[in-house]
């Protein structure tokens, strides 16, 4: 839909904010295509530029950091065919991140990397609304510092898990490891396998969901299937099936935000317990009264989506050796699985957890 030219320019200094320098991460030019319907500039940019929220786009427009055909405009300006938008995406000013003494389940570490078994309920890095209690705050207490990234809120972070998703995560302690490992994630060579419990019996034993994902225009905190989204591919395999739920294995080929949750919902098999992607109360209407009572009992103990990052494998960015890690299912996930198995199960293959 758009022409988008990214010109990396990490050495360009920008004015300081509160005495803290900022860098140009990307220079972007967007030529509005012929046939494009008029649309507010701030809304258009929030959809097209991954780093921008609508509020941040409005701020940049008001600061004159975004031009159309060489001139500044108002946030209410409506883009029209053949207009040329130019903007610079700047790094955020460094934050004073606090180290916090929070227990961590460290699976493995060396001088370069640390692999963590993240519990459900823990946010990976500080952001608006979550300035403390995150994995990064805990790691700073354990190690003093982490590898630097373009985003000062995410030192050492090369990939993330959603707050309520449990499982394996790798963080970089030192700079040389981070760029090399991030390259593996960009090239989709990292091996990641998840376990999930989903609604409604799958029609076959395995499959591939190949649907592009982008931000939900109705809710900026969520994502959805959209034709102009980023490519996303999710492989799944049915391990066990029950009366109205499934236990499945999922392998990611790409790593979009909320990818598994969005993809399973798009196939009408949302993740059990997921309140944001129709995996909780919205499914109850299809159950019998007896089934609803049973699920209500499950929900008393299950307060999150049943999604766990079980395995993680990659080539060590420094030693170049292949490394592989596996974690056990957390207590709530294992409990639900045992309850489902009491009612009988049809298995494709024996799975030992």
Residue 334 sits at φ, ψ, to 5 deg, of -65, -40
The active-site residue out of 18, 151, 162, 343 is 162
Q: How far apart are CA 79 and CA 77, in angstroms?
A: 6
Instruction: Please check whether residue 53 is in contact with residue 47, taking contact to mean a CB–CB distance below 8 angstroms.
Output: no
Instruction: Please check whether residue 310 is in contact with residue 194, taking contact to mean a CB–CB distance below 8 angstroms.
Output: yes
* Pairing mode of beta strands 71-72, 66-68: antiparallel
Cα dihedral sign for 143, 123, 211, 25?
negative
Q: Is residue 332 helix, strand or coil?
A: helix
Please choose, from the candidates 65, 155, 79, 169, the residue with its C-alpha nearest in 3D space to the C-alpha of residue 117: 169
Q: Is residue 75 helix, strand or coil?
A: coil
The DSSP annotation for 151-163 comes to STTSTTBS----T
- Reply yes or no on whether 162 is catalytic: yes
The size of the chain, in residues, is 353
Instruction: Please check whether residue 211 is in contact with residue 260, taking contact to mean a CB–CB distance below 8 angstroms.
Output: no
Left, alpha or beta for 242 (phi > 0: left; psi -120 to 50: alpha)?
A: beta
Active site (catalytic) residues: 162
């Amino acid at each position: 839909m758009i022409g988008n030219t990214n010109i990396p320019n990490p050495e360009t200094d920008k004015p300081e904010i509160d005495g803290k320098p900022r860098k140009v991460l990307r220079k972007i030019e967007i030529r509005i295509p012929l046939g494009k319907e008029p649309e507010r500039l701030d809304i258009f940019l929030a959809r097209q530029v991954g780093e921008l929220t609508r509020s941040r786009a409005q701020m940049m427009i008001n600061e004159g950091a975004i031009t159309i055909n060489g001139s500044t405009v108002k946030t209410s300006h409506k883009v029209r065919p053949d207009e040329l938008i130019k903007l610079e995406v700047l790094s955020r000013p460094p934050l004073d991140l606090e180290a916090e003494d929070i227990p961590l389940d460290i699976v493995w570490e060396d001088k370069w990397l640390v692999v963590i078994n993240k519990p459900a309920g823990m946010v990976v890095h500080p952001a608006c609304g979550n300035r403390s209690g995150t994995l990064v705050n805990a790691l700073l207490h354990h190690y003093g510092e982490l590898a630097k990234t373009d985003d000062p809120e995410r030192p050492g972070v090369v990939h993330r898990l959603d707050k309520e998703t449990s499982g394996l995560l790798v963080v970089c302690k030192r700079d040389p490891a981070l760029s090399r490992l991030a390259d593996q994630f960009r090239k989709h060579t990292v091996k990641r396998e998840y376990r999930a419990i989903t609604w409604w019996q799958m029609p076959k034993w395995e499959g591939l969901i190949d649907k592009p994902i982008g931000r939900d225009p109705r809710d900026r905190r969520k994502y959805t299937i959209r034709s102009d989204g980023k490519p996303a591919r999710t492989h799944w395999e049915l391990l066990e099936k029950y009366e109205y739920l499934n236990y499945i294995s999922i392998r990611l080929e790409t790593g979009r935000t909320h990818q598994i949750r969005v993809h399973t919902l798009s196939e009408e098999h949302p993740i059990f317990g997921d309140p944001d992607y129709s995996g909780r109360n919205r499914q109850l209407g299809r159950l019998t009264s007896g089934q609803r009572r049973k699920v209500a009992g499950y929900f008393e103990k299950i307060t999150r989506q049943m999604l766990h990052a079980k395995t993680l494998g990659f080539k060590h960015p420094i030693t170049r050796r292949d490394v592989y890690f596996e974690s056990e299912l957390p207590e709530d996930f294992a409990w639900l699985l045992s309850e489902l198995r009491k009612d009988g199960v049809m298995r494709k293959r024996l799975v030992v957890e």
